[in-house]
């Protein structure tokens, strides 16, 4: 009792003061609900990392960083001292946080502590080169309730001569010294995003990155590191996610000195950012945290953080509506009667947002023409979009529209007018991918044009939602008009202007919502998520494939962000899975329907209406609740995910069986996150519950578990639990 209240007192003190500084020891202690982070100023003025892990409360436990001894002339002390934000200078051979070249060719940069400022949950630390006024401000924001720390840096050239930044990382993170760590990340490609990879960290560096000018399908800017052996539920996990939608890089490095370090920020590949005297460069933001509760604890912390601190509208944002999108049904063959007919059918299912996809504008009958010409195609919509939108609204649905504003086809009026607006090198080929080129959004005129196009659409029409697509990666990343010294600013300025256009658009049209799509999940990161409401997870809507894609996605991103459609079968892989299975897979995120409703039977339609109604009953739990991954599709033929409402009154279990063999039953599924003392009413809207009883204690459900009768191939169940 005494101990408990002492602890409560300590915790209370900490929540009042998330950032502490000890002047006598020259150490900083940053503390959240789940973690602490410490650093200190060494005798030589270097700012050094001291601690990252489970919470501490006593700053006097920390000693000022000691100066180490060189191990040998090949192993200088600098390599043993974990500098918080190391410049590339002196005897340092690991990945630096900052590398510059001065106008005279001098490239040595050694950063020393100058001063700091604490303001509530914000800490700013000023560093400076030991000779020149090359200034770095390190920004730290502590989110005490979320267990998250945000870091970034501003690099300022206060010298009288220009310099070029060649590497600017948001942060360097240090794990507790040791070996035996494992790295978890996601990799993939178009239509196969978010495949979970887990591997031992050994000496050397592992690079996760994009060189594509968008976040990319190949890697996502997120990492998790464990100390070997944690599970979904237990064990320490250090994790981080970078907020940048362009060329990014995360380097995970194990040094020869038993030290794992992670650096992340702008990709250094082809990077060169000139800073004239007085100019500065801000790095992306890098969010990180520590969870003692395994990968599940990590995901739940990130999900809640995203819902409350990252996504537009925060905790007050409306739940994601049920959406219909006609792309897979009609592809480019959109017109007013066709879309109207689909809208009537969608409304009957309970759809709340009707989205018209590609094909409505310019000469867009296929992917060879029209991008860039954002005027309504008069053949397909002789009276503009208003009659369709009015009908959609009259049916009780909001209207959404597909756009791909950064792109242009060679066969378009825009390209004929402004061939110089695309990203290119003079006199070199302009590689087309999907027959399109990328407008150079780094240019202010292009930025303003794109804003103008979207602003006009949003002003003229009652558009609630843009599906903002980006269907290719960059090539020949030239910007000849900028001149050789400034040309590579494109990597940064393109992304900043993208953010700027979205921010201005949202400010001017506060009810407008945006989905980020890049041929599926090619632009998903905490940078774009600050300004969009959901993302198109993958162009792969095949339900069985989706289980893995969605599992990987859920590692770092909240279910409400994850747009998931029910589409027709056979789909990719030629596989046909039952409609109920397809619905249950998609109901684990922001539910959408992308099927050709004209082809659905009466039974399909009736089942779909039931499933949409069920989804609406549980969506607050799915979209705002805690996710427990109970069984992974990577481990066997059972996949199970459970969602628990924030107030604990409802929980939902989704279970999928891939293919039964040897007539085996699925093992009892033990639930998590319930109140062991409470009673729950258990309901199986689609059947499959073996237990005949309908009331169970939380203790039983979590310890003995539920028995489901999942048989054959592609069987699925949803179980709804209401606390009594
Ligand atoms: C991309 C998107 C699809 C669809 C098409 C339209 O591939 O990911 O969902 O919008 O473009 O051309």
CA of residue 300 to ligand 1 center, whole Å: 30
Ligand 1 within 6 A of CB of 327: yes
Average pLDDT score over residue span 346-371 = 98
Q: What is the DSSP letter of 292?
A: S
Give the C-alpha separation, 99 to 114, whole Å: 19
CA of residue 400 to ligand 1 center, whole Å: 14
Ligand 1 within 6 A of CB of 517: yes
Residue 691 has a pLDDT of 86
Average pLDDT score over residue span 139-168 = 98
Ligand 1 within 6 A of CB of 519: yes
pLDDT of 692 strictly over 90: no
pLDDT of 569 strictly over 70: yes
Kindly state the tokens that stand for 666.
């699925």
CA of residue 538 to ligand 1 center, whole Å: 10
Give the C-alpha separation, 534 to 217, whole Å: 16
Mutating to test ligand 1, I would choose from 214, 333, 358, 359 the residue with most ligand atoms within 8 A of its C-beta, which is: 358
- State the closest ligand 1 atom to the C-alpha of 520, by its place in the atom list counted from 1: 8
Residue nearest (by alpha carbon) to ligand 1 atom 7: 519
Active site residues: 469, 539
pLDDT of 124 strictly over 90: yes
CA of residue 412 to ligand 1 center, whole Å: 19
Kindly state the tokens that stand for 35.
């973690």
CA of residue 331 to ligand 1 center, whole Å: 9
Ligand 1 within 6 A of CB of 358: yes
Instruction: Give the model confidence (pLDDT) of 469-511 as tens digits.
Output: 999 999 999 999 999 999 999 999 999 999 999 999 999 999 9
- State the closest ligand 1 atom to the C-alpha of 357, by its place in the atom list counted from 1: 10
Nearest to 626, CA basis, from 297, 183, 358: 297
Average pLDDT score over residue span 280-286 = 98
Nearest to 522, CA basis, from 533, 537, 506, 512: 537
Residue nearest (by alpha carbon) to ligand 1 atom 2: 519
Average pLDDT score over residue span 67-87 = 97
Average pLDDT score over residue span 286-299 = 98
Cβ(717)–Cβ(686) below 8 Å: yes
Ligand 1 within 6 A of CB of 95: no
Instruction: Give the model confidence (pLDDT) of 297-317 as tens digits.
Output: 999 999 999 999 999 999 999
Phi–psi pair at 125, nearest 5 degrees: -120, 130
Average pLDDT score over residue span 642-662 = 98
Query: What integer best gives the mean pLDDT of the chain?
Result: 96
CA of residue 210 to ligand 1 center, whole Å: 21
Instruction: Give the model confidence (pLDDT) of 221-244 as tens digits.
Output: 999 999 987 789 999 999 999 999
Mutating to test ligand 1, I would choose from 327, 333, 535 the residue with most ligand atoms within 8 A of its C-beta, which is: 327
Residue 229 has a pLDDT of 78
Torsion 314-316-320-321 (CA) sign? negative
Mutating to test ligand 1, I would choose from 469, 523, 549 the residue with most ligand atoms within 8 A of its C-beta, which is: 469
Average pLDDT score over residue span 716-723 = 98
CA of residue 358 to ligand 1 center, whole Å: 7
Torsion 185-187-193-198 (CA) sign? negative
- Would you place residue 71 in the very low, low, confident or very high pLDDT band (cuts 50, 70, 90)? very high
Residue 1 has a pLDDT of 35
Helices (H) and strands (E) in the chain, counts: 13, 36
Residue nearest (by alpha carbon) to ligand 1 atom 11: 519
Ligand 1 within 6 A of CB of 357: yes
Residue 16 has a pLDDT of 60
411 Cβ contact list (under 8 Å, min separation 6): 363, 368, 369, 370, 435
Average pLDDT score over residue span 539-559 = 98
CA of residue 184 to ligand 1 center, whole Å: 29
Residue nearest (by alpha carbon) to ligand 1 atom 1: 519
Average pLDDT score over residue span 602-608 = 98
Question: Cα–chain-centroid distance for residue 663?
Answer: 40
Ligand 1 within 6 A of CB of 515: no
Residue nearest (by alpha carbon) to ligand 1 atom 12: 358
592 Cβ contact list (under 8 Å, min separation 6): 322, 323, 324, 325, 563, 564, 565, 566, 586
Using CA atoms of 295, 298, 300, 304 in order, give the dihedral in degrees to the nearest 10. Answer: -160
Give percent of the chain with pLDDT exceeding 90.
97
CA of residue 206 to ligand 1 center, whole Å: 32
Torsion 622-623-628-630 (CA) sign? positive
Task: Give the count of beta carbons closer than 10 Å to the beta carbon of residue 307.
Answer: 21
Nearest to 641, CA basis, from 550, 704, 565: 550
Residue 358 has a pLDDT of 98
Nearest to 26, CA basis, from 66, 56, 79, 54: 66
Give the C-alpha separation, 561 to 148, whole Å: 19
Cβ(148)–Cβ(32) below 8 Å: yes
Collapse the DSSP code of 424 into the 3-class scheme (helix H, G, I; strand E, B; otherwise coil) and give the result.
Answer: coil
Residue by residue, DSSP assigns 234-263 as: SB-EEEEEEE-SSSEEEEEEE-TTS-EEEE
pLDDT of 6 strictly over 90: no
Ligand 1 within 6 A of CB of 471: yes
Ligand 1 within 6 A of CB of 352: no
Ligand 1 within 6 A of CB of 193: no
Give the C-alpha separation, 289 to 149, whole Å: 6
Collapse the DSSP code of 380 into the 3-class scheme (helix H, G, I; strand E, B; otherwise coil) and give the result.
Answer: coil
Sheet holding 713-723, edge to edge: 626-631, 638-644, 650-659, 713-723, 679-683, 695-697
> Greatest CA span in the chain, whole angstroms?
81
């Amino acid at each position: 009792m005494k101990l408990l209240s002492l602890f409560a007192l300590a915790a209370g003190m900490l929540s009042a003061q998330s950032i502490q500084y000890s002047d006598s020891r020259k150490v900083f202690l940053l503390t959240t609900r789940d973690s602490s982070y410490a650093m200190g100023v060494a005798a030589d003025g270097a700012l050094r990392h001291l601690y990252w892990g489970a919470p501490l409360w006593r700053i006097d436990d920390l000693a000022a960083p000691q100066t180490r001894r060189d191990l040998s002339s090949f192993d200088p002390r600098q390599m043993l001292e974990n500098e918080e934000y190391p410049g590339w200078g002196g005897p340092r051979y690991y990945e630096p946080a900052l590398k510059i070249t001065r106008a005279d060719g001098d490239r040595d940069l050694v950063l020393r502590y100058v001063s700091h400022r604490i303001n509530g949950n914000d800490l700013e630390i000023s560093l400076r080169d030991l000779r020149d006024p090359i200034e770095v401000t390190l920004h730290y924001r502590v989110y005490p309730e979320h267990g998250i720390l945000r870091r970034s840096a501003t690099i300022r050239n206060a010298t009288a001569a220009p310099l070029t930044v060649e590497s600017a990382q948001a942060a360097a993170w240090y794990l507790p010294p040791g070996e035996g760590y494992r790295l978890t990340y996601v990799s993939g490609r178009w239509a196969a995003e978010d495949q979970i990879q887990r591997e031992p960290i050994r000496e050397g560096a592992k690079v996760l990155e994009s060189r594509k000018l968008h976040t990319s399908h190949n890697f996502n800017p997120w990492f998790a590191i464990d100390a070997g052996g944690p599970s979904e539920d237990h064990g320490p996990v250090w994790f981080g996610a970078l907020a940048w939608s362009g060329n990014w890089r995360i380097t995970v490095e194990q040094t020869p000195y038993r030290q794992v370090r992670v650096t992340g920020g702008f990709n250094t590949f082809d990077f060169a950012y000139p800073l004239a005297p007085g100019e500065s460069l801000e790095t992306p933001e890098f969010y990180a945290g520590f969870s003692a509760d395994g990968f599940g604890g990590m995901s739940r912390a990130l999900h809640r953080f995203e819902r409350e601190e990252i996504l537009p509208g925060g905790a007050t944002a409306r739940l994601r509506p049920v959406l219909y999108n006609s792309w897979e049904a009609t592809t480019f063959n959109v017109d007013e009667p066709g879309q109207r007919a689909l809208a009537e059918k969608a409304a009957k299912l309970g759809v709340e947002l009707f989205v018209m996809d590609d094909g409505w504008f310019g000469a867009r009958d296929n992917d060879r023409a029209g991008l860039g010409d954002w005027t309504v195609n008069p053949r397909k919509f002789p009276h503009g979009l208003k009659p369709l939108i009015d009908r959609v609204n009259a049916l009780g649905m909001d209207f959404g529209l597909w756009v791909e504003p950064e792109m242009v086809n060679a066969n378009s009026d825009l390209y004929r007018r402004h061939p110089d607006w695309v990203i290119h090198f003079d006199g070199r080929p302009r590689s087309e991918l999907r027959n399109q080129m990328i407008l150079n959004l780094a240019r202010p005129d292009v930025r303003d044009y794109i804003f103008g196009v979207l602003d006009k659409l949003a002003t003229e029409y009652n558009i609630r939602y843009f599906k903002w697509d980006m269907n290719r990666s960059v090539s020949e990343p030239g910007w000849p008009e900028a001149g050789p010294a400034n040309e590579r600013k494109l990597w940064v300025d393109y992304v900043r202007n993208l953010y700027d256009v979205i921010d201005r658009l949202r400010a001017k049209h506060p009810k407008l919502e945006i989905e980020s799509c890049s041929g599926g999940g090619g632009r998903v990161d905490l940078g774009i998520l600050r300004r969009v409401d959901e993302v198109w997870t993958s162009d792969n809507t095949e339900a069985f494939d989706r289980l893995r894609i969605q599992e990987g996605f859920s590692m770092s991103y909240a279910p409400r962000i994850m747009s998931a459609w029910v589409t027709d079968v056979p789909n990719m892989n030629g596989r046909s899975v039952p409609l109920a299975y397809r619905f249950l897979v998609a109901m684990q995120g922001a539910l959408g329907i992308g099927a050709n409703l004209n082809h659905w039977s009466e039974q399909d339609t009736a089942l779909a209406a039931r499933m949409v109604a069920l989804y609406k009953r549980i969506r607050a739990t799915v979209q705002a609740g805690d996710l427990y991954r109970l069984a992974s599709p990577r481990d066997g033929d059972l996949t199970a995910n459970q969602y628990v409402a924030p107030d604990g009154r409802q929980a939902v279990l989704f279970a999928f069986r891939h293919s039964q063999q040897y007539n085996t039953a699925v093992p009892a599924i033990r639930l998590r996150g319930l109140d062991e003392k409470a009673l729950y009413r258990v309901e199986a809207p689609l059947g499959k519950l073996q237990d005949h009883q309908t009331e169970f204690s939380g203790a039983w459900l979590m310890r003995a578990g539920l028995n489901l009768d999942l048989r054959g191939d592609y069987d699925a169940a949803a179980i709804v639990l209401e606390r009594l």
